[in-house]
Structure 1
């Protein structure tokens, strides 16, 4: 079994979650990405969010949310994605950059627009009354 290890930034506003869609993709994803060799979770998350959304995460505010695992969208059966999620304050203006074509605030009812691992995260947030 192959596991894709990723990090994600959970940004909530008005009980909606910030989600991104990369060029050529049909699903939205919670922003984040993979660690580069030698990077800590904090370093990788800050770099990915800066590259994808043009904002700077406040490292002192980064807070662990949880780890979620599901079948990786668009990958062969048995390929899992493990998403380690964090919340954090940020500075700057959110704007799509790099491979990001679009960003949207999604509600719980938009689960059909996201990848399987994100569905688990939506459920987790809804159970805690953080999404509407």
Structure 2
């Protein structure tokens, strides 16, 4: 079974989670992306969030949340996405950049517009009382 290794940024405010929609896509995804060769989780997180949201992650605040796996959207059956999630503080103002068309704050009622792996993350956050 093939896995796509991704790192995700979990930002929650007022019971809602930061999500993004890329150009040409209809679903929303938790921001982040694929690791480049030789990168650590933290390096991937910092690079991806700067590229997508134009903010600088404060390295000393990065905290592991969990790792989640599910069928990859749009991929053939059996290709999984592994999403390793982190929370962190950041400097700057969130702004869509690069392939990101839109930033949106979602809650647990938005399961119908997110990816399969994000659904698992939303359920985890809801069970922990972090997501409305």
Compute the TM-score of the two structures, normalised by the length of structure 1.
0.99
1:64-95 per-residue CA deviation (whole Å, 9 max, x = no partner) reads 00000000011111110000000000110000
Q: Does 1:102 align with 2:102?
A: yes
Residue 118 (str. 1) matches residue 118 (str. 2)? yes
Q: Which runs of 5+ in 2 are unaligned?
A: none
Q: Provide the secondary structure at the position in 2 that maps to 1:102.
A: strand
Over the aligned positions, Cα root-mean-square deviation in angstroms equals 0.5
Where do 5+ consecutive residues of structure 1 fail to align? Answer: none
Q: How many residues align?
A: 132
Q: TM-score, normalised by structure 2?
A: 0.99
2:32 paired with 1:41: no
Query: How far is the alpha carbon of 1:26 from its aligned partner?
Result: 1.3
Moved over 2 A (4+): none
Q: 1:7 deviation in Å?
A: 0.3
Residue 128 of structure 2 is matched in structure 1 by 128
Q: Determine whether 1:75 maps to 2:75.
A: yes
